[in-house]
């Protein structure tokens, strides 16, 4: 183990002891040869007298250990399928409160990224930062054309610090897996690997710019969400330049009310934005805390959200996307057996799970939720309960689903802070129902066929050669010495050739008709019944030709 890692581990142990987390030090067997010093340490005895919860102590320790551990705690807080509830709740309170680094250093880093003086890039650059976070900080600037922009620049030495602390986290995970009783169940190495991917992605500001560009394209022309423009010519791996947003922070409720903002619509729009991202676009902003959300109030009666900071986004597997929507609707209708069946079909629980046991477990956790008005019911809490059930039945939930659940809780909390009577169900269920109807419509099938049409046509081009090879192999078999007839006469051979040709023609003709039907449906030609009739005729021809070959 490298000396820098050993020194960092020693620092971590001291911080844990200072916050009364000696149980974790003992459980992971940190510095086993020095155990007698551990028990003699006054830090241990003084901290035992504190009356602070273990979750709060762990949160404070992570904050003291620095930005990388803060972000690790934030990431781990989404894994409620693995953590005790009290610890998960406390880790969710972690905030990126870090002091800014000097603007002169930011100027030097940006000039290094561009390879030229900053005065040749920007007309104006403000060295006093607008905001600072654990990974980067943001400065206001103006382009030569007069556009107001913000410049995001990575903190100095961030990559080296992350590499060191990731190495430390892996060392701690190995100790926890080896010695801690809960280590195997919590899968610490997997958690660190999951965090590593997230934090390394956040270091690539070109990737964040691409996320912003995708989100802007998804909401083009929408009156729900505005995404700032990315200025690609000024973006580098360590620097990102975007349009500056002049909006009201979502947390400044007094200013919003003074401006006459329609607060109820604002709260409902937040829910619509989230469910639109998840189900229509399958691409959602996964870091929607108040610091990243602004409100544009040029028209206070029709307020519009504006988002920033696109380092963390999420997508779902199409199957998870479908089963998630179905689960929400089944829970809403209290069809607990359907919820159990969906968990089995989706693979969220093992295939050998008994439906009746799963149904009973779902009913037990969901029925108490419905003992209150619908407007007070939380989608995020229901999803969390479903994941807890899955954990009891030994299913490991995918990280993206946990990321979605955490984002959903943030969205609901934000909406109800704005408008306490927000009915999330009434706002979200029409979006879910419409999405499910569209997903099973003929138009959706036609879109799918249109996407797959090039592959189908390519396969159709190879079909004659494939069938010709099949015929040739059969005729070769007929001429083989192993054939049941040793020396067929010319008439029998001619009959066999004619039979093979008819089969080939039937399959080729059926395939051609089938292809024509797919094209008809894919381009949505009218009347649609012609396409379906051709589809049936072509399929029949192919089946007939193949059946005659037996």
Active-site positions?
Answer: 287
Neighbouring-strand partners of residue 243? 149
Please provide the size of the chain in residues: 550
CA–CA separation, 91 vs 70, rounded Å? 9
What the block records as the tokens of 160 is 């080296």
Q: Positive or negative, the Cα torsion across 212, 216, 218, 224?
A: positive
CA–CA separation, 538 vs 521, rounded Å? 14
CA–CA separation, 464 vs 542, rounded Å? 12
Residue 244 near residue 150 (C-beta atoms within 8 A): yes
CA torsion 171-176-178-182 (nearest 10°) is -160
Neighbouring-strand partners of residue 249? 294
What the block records as the tokens of 216 is 């802007």
CA–CA separation, 343 vs 337, rounded Å? 10
Cβ neighbourhood burial of 145 (10 Å; 0-12, 13-18, 19+) = exposed
Per DSSP bridges, beta strands 124-125 and 136-142 are antiparallel
What the block records as the tokens of 449 is 């066929």
Name the residue among 185, 126, 249 with its Cα closest to residue 394: 185
E-only strand ranges, 32-168: 124-125, 131-132, 136-142, 148-154
116 alpha carbon, distance to own chain's centre = 38
What the block records as the tokens of 491 is 């008439």
Q: What is the CA radius of gyration of the chain?
A: 31
Contacts 24+ apart (CB under 8 A), 377-383: 377/424, 377/425, 378/409, 378/412, 378/424, 379/328, 379/408, 379/412, 379/424, 379/425, 379/428, 380/405, 380/406, 380/408, 380/409, 380/411, 380/412, 381/409, 382/328, 382/331, 383/324, 383/408
Name the residue among 445, 456, 444 with its Cα closest to residue 538: 456
Q: Positive or negative, the Cα torsion across 467, 468, 470, 474?
A: positive
């Amino acid at each position: 183990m490298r000396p820098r890692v050993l020194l960092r581990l020693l620092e971590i142990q001291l911080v844990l002891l200072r916050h009364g987390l000696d149980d974790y030090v003992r459980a992971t067997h940190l510095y086993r040869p020095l155990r007698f010093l551990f028990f003699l340490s006054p830090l241990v005895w003084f901290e035992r007298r504190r009356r602070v919860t273990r979750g709060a102590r762990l949160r404070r320790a992570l904050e003291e250990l620095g930005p990388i551990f803060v972000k690790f705690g934030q990431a781990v807080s989404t894994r409620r399928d693995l953590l005790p509830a009290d610890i998960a709740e406390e880790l969710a309170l972690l905030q990126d409160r870090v002091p800014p680094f000097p603007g002169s250093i930011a100027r030097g880093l940006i000039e290094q990224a561009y390879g030229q003086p900053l005065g040749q890039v920007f007309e104006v650059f403000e060295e006093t930062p607008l905001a600072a976070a654990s990974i980067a900080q943001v400065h206001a600037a103006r382009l030569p054309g007069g556009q107001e922009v913000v410049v995001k620049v990575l903190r100095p030495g961030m990559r080296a610090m992350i590499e060191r602390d990731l190495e430390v986290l892996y060392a701690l995970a190995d100790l926890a897996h080896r010695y801690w009783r809960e280590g195997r169940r919590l899968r610490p190495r997997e958690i660190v690997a999951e965090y590593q991917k997230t934090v390394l992605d956040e270091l690539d500001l070109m990737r964040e710019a691409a996320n912003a560009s995708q989100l802007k394209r998804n909401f083009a022309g929408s009156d729900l969400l505005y995404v700032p423009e990315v200025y690609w010519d000024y973006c580098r791996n360590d620097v990102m330049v975007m349009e500056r947003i002049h909006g009201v922070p979502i947390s400044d409720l007094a200013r919003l009310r003074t401006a006459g903002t329609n607060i109820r619509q604002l709260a409902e729009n937040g829910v619509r934005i989230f469910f639109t991202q998840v189900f229509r676009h399958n691409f959602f902003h996964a870091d929607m805390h108040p610091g990243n959300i602004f409100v544009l109030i040029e028209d206070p009666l029709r307020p519009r959200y504006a988002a920033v900071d696109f380092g963390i986004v999420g997508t779902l597997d199409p199957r998870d996307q479908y089963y998630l929507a179905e689960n929400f609707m089944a829970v809403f209708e209290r069809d607990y057996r359907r919820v159990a069946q969906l968990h089995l079909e989706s693979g969220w629980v093992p295939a050998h799970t008994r439906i009746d046991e799963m149904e009973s477990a779902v009913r037990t956790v969901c029925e108490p939720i419905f003992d209150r008005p619908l407007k007070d019911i939380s989608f995020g809490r229901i999803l969390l309960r479903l994941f807890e059930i899955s954990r009891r039945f030994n299913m490991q939930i995918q990280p993206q689903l946990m990321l979605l659940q955490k984002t959903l809780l943030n969205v609901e909390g934000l909406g109800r802070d704005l408008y306490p009577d927000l009915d999330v169900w009434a706002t979200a269920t029409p979006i879910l129902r419409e999405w499910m109807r569209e997903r099973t419509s003929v138009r959706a099938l036609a879109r799918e066929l249109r996407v797959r049409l090039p592959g189908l046509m390519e396969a159709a081009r190879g079909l004659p050669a494939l069938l010709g090879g099949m015929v040739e192999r059969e005729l070769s078999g007929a001429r083989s010495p192993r054939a049941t007839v040793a020396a067929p006469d010319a008439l029998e051979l001619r009959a066999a050739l004619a039979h093979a040709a008819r089969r080939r023609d039937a399959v080729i003709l059926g395939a051609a008709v089938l292809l024509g039907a797919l094209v008809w449906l894919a381009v949505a030609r009218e009347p649609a019944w012609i396409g379906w009739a051709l589809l049936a005729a072509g399929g029949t021809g192919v089946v007939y030709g193949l059946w005659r070959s037996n």
